[in-house]
């Protein structure tokens, strides 16, 4: 399985301005399909923050997730297999580089 490209700072700067979480989520789902996965959400006090992962190395991600489920730990390969994306309720996006 080939690795997918991570979103660069330049690409992030070119993202549309979203007004709501749903607009941003729909944009990423349409662009990345099944490689864009929901992780969790919680209220930060400034609104709900939605955490997603853009899977960039599917093989390492699947293996790491299996390792996590079986022995409770993950290696660096798993940590490098996805790019965290946070979307706030107001549509603001933060991509970890």
| 9, pLDDT greater than 60 | yes
5's CB contacts (< 8 A; 6+ apart) are 56
pLDDT band at 41 (very low <50, low <70, confident <90, very high): very high
- Tokens representing 51 are 């955490």
Average pLDDT over residues 60-69: 90
Prediction pTM value: 0.90
Averaged pLDDT, 90-96:
97
Contact 64, 78 (CB under 8 A): yes
Q: Which of 86, 78, 97 has the alpha carbon at shortest distance from 18?
A: 86
């Amino acid at each position: 399985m080939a690795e997918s490209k991570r979103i660069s700072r330049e690409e992030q700067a070119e993202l549309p301005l979203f007004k709501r979480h749903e607009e941003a989520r729909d944009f990423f789902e349409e662009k990345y399909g099944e490689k864009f996965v929901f992780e969790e959400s919680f209220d930060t006090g400034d609104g709900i923050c939605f955490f997603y992962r853009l899977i960039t190395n599917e093989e390492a991600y699947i293996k790491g997730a299996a390792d996590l489920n079986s022995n409770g730990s993950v290696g660096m390969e798993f940590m490098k297999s996805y790019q965290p994306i946070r979307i706030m309720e107001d549509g603001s996006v933060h991509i970890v580089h």
